[in-house]
Amino acid sequence: MAKISQNVIEEIKSKISIVELVSRYLTLNKKGDRYWGLCPFHDEKTPSFSVLADKGFFHCFGCGKSGSLFDFFMEMEHVNFPESIKILGESVGIQIAEESESEKKIRSEKETLLDLYNKLAASFTYILTNSDFSKGANEYLNHRDISKESIDKFQLGYAPNDPDWLYSFLHAKKYSDELLRKSGLFSKNNDFYPLFRDRLMFPIKNWRGEVVAFGGRDLSDTSKAKYINTPETLLYRKREIVYGLYESLVDVKKEASVILCEGYFDVIAMHQGGLTTAVAPLGTAFTEDQGKLIRRYATTITTLFDGDAAGREATKKALVVCERLGITNRVISLEGAKDPSELLEKEGEKALLKACSDTKSGFDYLVHSYLSLYDSTKATGKLQIFNELVPFLDAVDSQIVQQTYLRELSRYLQIDESTLIHEMRNKGAKRPAFQREAANTFSSQGQQGTNYSQDLYTLLVLVNNRSLFYSARNRLKISDLIDSEAITIYTLLEDAIREGTIDSDELILQGIENPSLRNKVSMSFQSKEFSKNPQKVIDELLKRISIRTLEKSQKNLEKLIAVASKNGTISLDISDLLYEKKAIDEKIAMLRLAYHHK
Ligand SMILES: [Zn+2]
* pLDDT per position as a tens digit, 485-534: 999 999 999 988 888 888 889 999 988 988 889 999 999 999 888 988 89
Task: Give the full edge-to-edge strand order of the sheet including 29-31.
Answer: 29-31, 34-37, 49-52, 57-60, 66-68
The H or E element containing residue 306 is: none
Nearest CA among 430, 395, 425, 428 for reference residue 318: 395
Q: Are residues 416 and 384 in the same domain?
A: yes
CA distance 378 to 415: 12
205: helix, strand or coil:
strand
Q: Are residues 204 and 307 in the same domain?
A: no
pLDDT tens by residue, the chain, 598 residues: 446 778 888 889 888 999 999 999 889 999 988 999 999 888 888 899 999 988 889 999 988 899 999 999 998 888 888 889 989 998 888 877 666 788 788 888 989 999 999 999 999 999 999 998 899 999 999 998 899 999 999 999 999 999 999 999 999 999 999 999 999 999 888 878 999 999 999 999 998 899 999 999 999 988 888 999 999 998 998 888 999 999 999 899 888 899 999 999 999 999 999 999 999 998 768 998 899 889 878 889 999 998 888 888 899 999 999 998 888 999 998 877 888 888 888 888 888 888 898 899 999 999 999 999 999 988 888 988 998 999 999 888 777 788 889 999 999 999 888 888 888 777 655 544 444 433 344 554 443 446 789 999 999 999 999 999 999 998 899 889 989 899 999 999 998 888 888 888 999 998 898 888 999 999 999 988 898 889 999 998 999 999 999 998 888 888 877 777 776 555 556 777 788 888 888 888 888 877 555 4
Q: Are residues 192 and 314 in the same domain?
A: no
CA distance 11 to 13: 5
The domain spanning residue 351 has which CATH number?
3.40.1360.10
How many A from CA of 574 to the centre of ligand 1?
60
Domain end, chosen from 366, 396, 414, is at 366
Identify the domain containing residue 498 by its residue range: 440-532
Asked if residue 44 is part of any domain, the answer here is yes
| Secondary structure (H, E, C), 118-175 | HHHHHHHHHHHHHCCCCHHHHHHHHHCCCCHHHHHHCCCEEECCCCCHHHHHHHHCCC
Asked if residue 1 is part of any domain, the answer here is no
The H or E element containing residue 493 is: helix 484-499
How many A from CA of 324 to the centre of ligand 1?
23
Q: Are residues 490 and 388 in the same domain?
A: no
The H or E element containing residue 65 is: none
Domain end, chosen from 366, 401, 429, is at 366
What own/partner pairs with CB < 8 Å and gap ≥ 24 does 247-254 have?
Answer: 247/153, 247/154, 247/205, 247/271, 248/276, 248/277, 248/278, 248/279, 249/207, 249/297, 251/276, 251/277, 252/277, 252/279, 252/294, 252/297, 252/298, 253/297, 253/298
Asked if residue 96 is part of any domain, the answer here is no
Nearest CA among 239, 281, 285, 289 for reference residue 264: 281
How many A from CA of 59 to the centre of ligand 1?
8
The domain spanning residue 38 has which CATH number?
3.90.580.10
Nearest CA among 215, 224, 309 for reference residue 266: 215
How many A from CA of 39 to the centre of ligand 1?
5
How many A from CA of 40 to the centre of ligand 1?
7
How many A from CA of 78 to the centre of ligand 1?
17
How many A from CA of 254 to the centre of ligand 1?
15
Q: Are 60 and 50 in contact (CB under 8 A)?
A: yes
Single-letter amino acid code for the residue at 224: K
How many A from CA of 518 to the centre of ligand 1?
15
What does DSSP say about strands 441-443 and 360-361: parallel, antiparallel, or unpaired?
unpaired
Q: Are residues 130 and 21 in the same domain?
A: no
Nearest CA among 527, 583, 549, 504 for reference residue 70: 504
Asked if residue 586 is part of any domain, the answer here is yes
Q: Which residues face 217 on adjacent strands?
A: 200, 227
Domain end, chosen from 50, 66, 91, is at 91
Q: Are residues 431 and 453 in the same domain?
A: no
Q: Are residues 115 and 86 in the same domain?
A: no
**Which pLDDT tens digit goes with each residue over 9-47?**
888 988 899 999 999 988 999 998 899 999 988 888 889
How many A from CA of 414 to the centre of ligand 1?
43
Q: Are 371 and 385 in contact (CB under 8 A)?
A: yes
Q: Are residues 351 and 388 in the same domain?
A: no
CA distance 478 to 500: 20
Q: Are 275 and 256 in contact (CB under 8 A)?
A: no
Asked if residue 38 is part of any domain, the answer here is yes
Q: What is the pLDDT of residue 569?
A: 54
Q: List phi, psi (to 5°) of 428.
A: 80, 10
For the chain, the straight-line distance linking the first and the last C-alpha, in angstroms and rounded, comes to: 51
CA distance 376 to 399: 26
How many A from CA of 166 to the centre of ligand 1?
50
Q: What is the pLDDT of residue 95?
A: 76
Q: What is the pLDDT of residue 367?
A: 95
Q: Are 215 and 264 in contact (CB under 8 A)?
A: yes
DSSP 3-state percent helix, strand, coil across the chain (nearest 5): 55, 10, 35
Quick one: 151 exposed, middle or buried, by C-beta within 10 A (0-12, 13-18, 19+)?
middle
Q: Are 335 and 357 in contact (CB under 8 A)?
A: no
How many A from CA of 42 to the centre of ligand 1?
5
Asked if residue 276 is part of any domain, the answer here is yes
Asked if residue 211 is part of any domain, the answer here is yes
Q: Are residues 572 and 467 in the same domain?
A: no
- Integer-rounded Cα Rg, in Å, for the chain is 29
Q: Are residues 270 and 338 in the same domain?
A: yes
CA distance 241 to 254: 21
How many A from CA of 63 to the centre of ligand 1?
4
Q: How many domains does the chain have?
A: 6
How many A from CA of 275 to the centre of ligand 1?
27
CA distance 520 to 456: 10
How many A from CA of 50 to the centre of ligand 1?
9
Q: What is the pLDDT of residue 590?
A: 85
The H or E element containing residue 270 is: helix 264-272
Q: What is the pLDDT of residue 446?
A: 42
Q: Are residues 400 and 281 in the same domain?
A: no
How many A from CA of 44 to the centre of ligand 1?
8
DSSP secondary structure letter of residue 287: P
How many A from CA of 235 to the centre of ligand 1?
34
The H or E element containing residue 229 is: strand 227-229
Tally Cβ neighbours within 10 Å of residue 546: 18
The domain spanning residue 127 has which CATH number?
3.90.980.10
pTM of the prediction? Answer: 0.63
Q: What is the pLDDT of residue 3?
A: 65
Q: Are residues 429 and 450 in the same domain?
A: no
Q: What is the pLDDT of residue 440?
A: 41
565: helix, strand or coil:
helix
Sequence-distant (6+) residues with CB within 8 A of 208 are 78, 246
Tally Cβ neighbours within 10 Å of residue 534: 15
How far from chain centre, in Å, is Cα 166? 38
How many A from CA of 292 to the centre of ligand 1?
20
